[in-house]
A = this chain, B = another copy of it.
Amino acid sequence: MNISLEEIAARIGAQLVGDPEHRINSCSTLISADADQLSFIYDKKYLPALQQSKAGVVILSAQFAADCPAHALIVENPYLAYAKAASFIHSKAKAVGSIHPSAVMGENSRIADDCVIAANVVIGDNVHIGRGGKIGPGSVLGDDIIIGENVNIIANVTITDGCRLGDGVSLHPGCVIGSDGFGYAPAENRAWCKIPQLGVVVIGDNVDVGANTTIDCGALDNTVIGNGVKIDNLVQIAHNVEIGEHSAIAACTGIAGSTKIGKHCTLAGGVGLVGHLTVADNVHVTGMTMVTHSIKQAGAYSSGTPFQSNSAWLKNAVRFKQLDALTKKINKLIKTNKENDGAR
């Protein structure tokens, strides 16, 4: 999109310092941006880059205005203002509704007229897709699925029977919505007997699900992802998990069955939560933390050990195995010393 600074300022609520008729057509970094590009600064460590920038306009807070060699759009929250500006500058022209001839469509489906169904999509029976939907190539949707408006399913996604998606949901390539939960009863001869997984996945509005992430359907009740939740790549969400609104979950995290995460939580990468826990609102868990019981208080939580050179680590790691014995030795020593002090 080719757009004037005046219009950008109006749309993001910025104070423009510079030429209102100057036009930009895309975004770039402070270092790479040309005169027809917009950039932004939100941290003073980028000040040298700002001072040398050849960008057409920079979104910034008032404190950086004096250092800006380009036109400036002054806002309170430059990062958010940039996110909004970049969204409309790089928005694509709305595609005309179409169903590719190679797509295989089931019966009794209700697909809004302006949806784009790409090549090699397979859609089952009784599927409803709201206005503005895009179903990308190679995606497979089962039966009885209900999808809200403006949903964007990128490519090679699988959604199983009965799952429901709210408005504005984005599903990234390869993710799986509604795989069977991992539920088995111990059976005769020490084999496992599968528990049929009869629930579905219910995803709220404005949820993003990352590439190759898997969300299992519920065993009887549903797996529920709240409005505004953002999920990164390669995340595992097991059956009957519930994620509260606006929580964000980074890559490689796994959440075991029936665990409930509160609202506005953040789980960093590689976190693991065991099943049947409850995590309060506003809890932040740092990377690779192992969460083994419920968290009732908002706050930041961590586990793990810091990395070191392998040779130093080997020495410390072996001591960890003696930590209980060591602690007891010390407690005994302290006790003996006190007695000796008393006796002296």
Interface residues, chain A, CB within 8 Å of chain B?
26-29, 32, 77, 79-80, 82-84, 86-87, 90, 100, 102, 104, 118-120, 122, 136-138, 140, 142, 154-156, 158, 160, 170, 172-174, 176, 179-180, 182, 184-187, 190-196, 198, 206, 208, 210-212, 214, 216, 220-221, 228, 230, 232-234, 236, 238, 246, 248, 250-252, 254, 256, 264, 268-270, 272, 274, 284-292, 299-324, 326-327, 329-330, 333-334, 336-337, 340-341
Please indicate the chain B residues that have their CB under 8 angstroms from the CB of A198 in the complex: 26-27, 86, 90
Q: Whole-angstrom distance between the alpha carbons of A330 and B182 in the complex?
A: 47
**A176 CA / B284 CA spacing, docked (Å):** 28
Q: Choose one: B158, B174, B287; the contact of A158 (CB below 8 Å).
A: B174
Do A212 and B210 have beta carbons less than 8 Å apart?
A: no
Query: Given contacts A192-B248, A248-B192, are A119 and B104 in contact (CB under 8 A)?
Result: yes
Tell me the number of copies of this protein: 3
Judge whether A317 and B337 touch: CB under 8 Å: no
Give the CA-CA distance A322 to B286 in the complex, in Å. 20
Q: Are B317 and A212 in contact (CB under 8 A)?
A: no
Contact of A176 with B179 at beta-carbon distance under 8 Å, contacts A272-B269, A307-B303, A337-B337 already known: no
Are A211 and B179 interface neighbours, CB within 8 A? yes
Among A104, A119, A284, A337, residue most surrounded by chain B Cβ atoms (within 10 Å): A119
Q: Give the shortest distance, in Å, between A208 (CB) and chain B (any CB).
A: 7
Task: Tell me the bound Cα distance from A238 to B210 in angstroms.
Answer: 11
Which residue from chain B places its CB closest to the CB of A194 in the assembled complex? B83
Rounded to whole Å, the gap between the CB of A173 and the closest CB of chain B is: 4
Given contacts A158-B156, A176-B211, A234-B214, contact A246 B192 (CB under 8 A): yes
Instruction: Give the CA-CA distance A321 to B315 in the complex, in Å.
Output: 9
- Are A82 and B195 in contact (CB-based, < 8 A)? yes
For A173, give the chain B residue with the smallest CB separation: B158
Specify the chain B residue showing the minimal Cβ separation from A89.
B196
